Every structure is written in structure tokens, then in C-alpha cells.
Amino acid sequence: MKIKRTSVLGIAVWVLVAASGAVGSEESAIDVEAYNQCLLEKMRTAADETPVSELREACLVESQQPDTGGVAVSDTAPAEGDETTPLDARIEETKATEQMRFVITPFKPNYIMVGYNPNGNTAPFEEAFPDEDIDFLAAEVKFQISFMFPIVQNIFRDNGDLYFAFTNRSFWQLFNDDLSAPFRETNYEPEFWFQFDTRGKVLGLTSRLITFGYNHQSNGRNNPLSRSWNRLFANFLFERGKFALAIKPWIVIGDLTGNEDITDFLGNYEIRAAYKWKRQTFTLLSRNQLQSGFERGAFQFDWSMPIYKRLRFYTQYFNGYGESMIDYNYFNNTLGMGLSFTDYF
């Protein structure tokens, strides 16, 4: 089996240079936090027919900072404990966009990047197409599109919402001219869940959201390439300052034909931690580590930083099993860099 390698060093260097050169490009005369808070408040209270451009212009005026020769000034210092956390801001922004027509609310991070996988998994494709030469390149484009919207809100007085979300994650052999640049794998993930706001204290953390729902994930292929599973899950979201922690256990239901041993590799839970430092976001995913005795788990590290308006430079490193459905039982060690459009917060 031969796997070609296409260097992505040039692309990576170009992206890094663009990121470093654009970080400071935002207007220094604008109080960014004040602008964001103003925009959120106006989106919640404005009439449906109010143009978004009008809201932005009003907030730009209100958030102008006086010229103080580079010295920041403030009329009043924020009271201790009154600072809005990154997770609070994300929840408020999500609620604001839910009320706006013609706006799709992001769910998981939306990104596009060039990834490098030196040991691609060709075995399932060789089984499906024994007469063809399966020759994947080490470099491919990976992208994710994820959105959500509320179906019913405030089921129990002022709490309890029913949501639907859909996530599409694709692995595209864009540079593979020999195979006509196919999509090596695409995973489809629709899900429903009930969500409840909470404010309890647990081990020094503040409980913010609890969800219970149903999740389907598959790659939409016929046997022998078909991979799918269905789960009932819960998700417990905690925060402390700029740190957020999500613990997500699940129970597998339904038929597992074609991947009967999927829980041996993907387990029955995952833990995701996120931290906001200045304007950068760091996240770490751990899945099935304890259950497998640290032999069949997975780690994923993500880092993003703003470069221009809503665009963020994005890096993702994955090590372990289950980067995609076709690779649920195959060990991958991949690195990718590109752009993200939304993040966890």
C-alpha cells in the first residue's frame, strides 16, 4: 500500500503570516466589549424589521473611546463578580441570534483547514473496491458546518427549551487529481435535545446548562463502508471565570450492524474543556481514556485566535481513534491549520 505525501508547509506558513499580520487590524478607537454588549442588547429589543446595519452603526457611535494618548480610561470599575464570563457571553449571543430572522445560529465550531495525515486508512476502501488502487494523499481539506435552532422555548415557565442541530464534517481529498479529488469521508450528525438553565455550585464550578437528547451519526454509505450509531445523551456544562467544562455521557441504542464494536473505541462519554485567554480560545477533548485503559481513547486540541473581523486562525491536533466514522477503529495522528468562523466561545 502506497500513500502519497503532499507537503502543506507552504500553506501553513502563509496562514501563519496572515494571522500574525492581521491580529492588530481592528479599530483601536472602539471599545470592543462595549460594542458587543450594545449589539446584543439592541438585537434583543429591536423590531424585526430593523436593519442589522442600523444597529451596528448605533453601537459603533456608543462604543467610541475618547483619545487619551493610549491610556485607557473608565468612569467606574466593574464590581467584583460582575464580569461577564466567556460562556455567559456565548449563551447570550446564542439567545440573541435565535430571535433574529434570516440568521442561522452556530452550534459547534465552523471551520475549514488543510490537514496532514501521514497514515491514511485505506483498508475499508480496499475491501469495498478490491479491483481499484486506493491511493490517498496525506494532505486533505477538512471542514465542519454546524448550526442549531430552537423548536419550542420556555416549556416549563421560563426554563426548558427544545433544540435541533445539524453538524456536517467532511474530509476532502482536494489535491488528489488521480482520484478526481473525492470526498474520502463525510459524517452527518442531526440531534435533538432539551436544555435547562442552571446556577448550582459543584466543586467550585458553576453549573450553567444541563441537556438531555438524542443523537444520530452516520456517513451515509452502503455496506461495507456504512458506519452509524444512535445515542441518548446528557451534557453537563460548568464554568468558572474563563474556564468551561462539559461532561457528556451517552447510551447507545438501536442497531450497530457494520460497527458492532464501536463503543470499544469511542466509549460512552467524552469530556471537553475550554479556556479563554485574552482573545484566544483553547479547547481540549478527551474521549474513552479511562474506559479503554488509555489504549483506545482520543485527544483533540484546538486553538483559535482572531485575525480579521469574524475570521479566526484555527489549529487542530487529533491523536487517537474516531476522528471520523470510517476511522472509528483506526488510530490517527493528524494536524491541521486553517480558518474558523465560530468557536465554542
Which residues belong to the active site? 216, 218
- Nearest CA among 14, 27, 51 for reference residue 309: 27
DSSP state string for 134-156: ---BSEEEEEEEEEEEEEE--SB
- Is there a contact between 190 and 166 (Cβ–Cβ < 8 Å)? yes
Separation of alpha carbons 165 and 190, rounded Å: 6
Separation of alpha carbons 104 and 95, rounded Å: 12
Q: Cα 114 to chain center, whole Å?
A: 16
In 3-state terms, what secondary structure has residue 268? Answer: coil
Separation of alpha carbons 110 and 260, rounded Å: 30
User: Helix 86-98 vs helix 32-45: angle between axes, to the nearest 10 degrees?
Assistant: 30
- Nearest CA among 231, 234, 287, 233 for reference residue 256: 231
Separation of alpha carbons 1 and 88, rounded Å: 50
Q: Cα 203 to chain center, whole Å?
A: 26
DSSP state string for 2-37: --B----HHHHHHHHHHHHHHTT-S-TTB-HHHHHH
* Omega before residue 224 within 30° of 0, cis: yes
Cell numbers found for residue 25: 487590524
User: Residue 7: exposed, middle, or buried by beta-carbon count in 10 A (0-12, 13-18, 19+)?
Assistant: exposed
- Is there a contact between 196 and 159 (Cβ–Cβ < 8 Å)? yes
- Is there a contact between 146 and 184 (Cβ–Cβ < 8 Å)? no
User: Residue 294: exposed, middle, or buried by beta-carbon count in 10 A (0-12, 13-18, 19+)?
Assistant: exposed
